[in-house]
Copies of this chain bind each other. A is one copy, B any other.
Amino acid sequence: MRRDIFQAIADPTRRAIIVLIAAQAMTPNAIAEHFDTTRQAVSKHLKVLTECELVQPQHRGREIYYQLEIDKMKEIDHWLEQFRKIWESRFEQLDNLLETLKKQQQ
């Protein structure tokens, strides 16, 4: 299945998992303890996150630590860039308007 980071962050539980493991890598069991859900459900979410490379599994004995690939989050940031340009330019326009009004008053 074609996975995509935007689809990955659409689910609220997955977003919570991302936030949780941002600080430190965790095992599926440890993650599941933080939510009102089963390990298997968490495991499925981790599969989705792994498939779109937002998360990387690190095997340590029989445990698997899942680590956030924070650089992948930049893809969202990058997509937002185009809109950031718009809202910044609008702010600038407002700023110019205020400046003009100020000068007119003088």
Contact = CB atoms under 8 A, between A and B. Distances in A.
A80 B87 contact: no
Copies of this protein chain in the complex: 2
A10 B6 contact: yes
Interface of A: 4, 6-7, 9-10, 12, 15, 19, 22, 70-71, 73-74, 76-77, 79-80, 82-84, 86-87, 90
Contact of A6 (B9, B82, B84, B86): B9
A80 B80 contact: yes
B87 A83 contact: no
The winner among A6, A79, A82 for most chain B CB atoms within 10 A is A6
A90 to B, nearest CB: 8
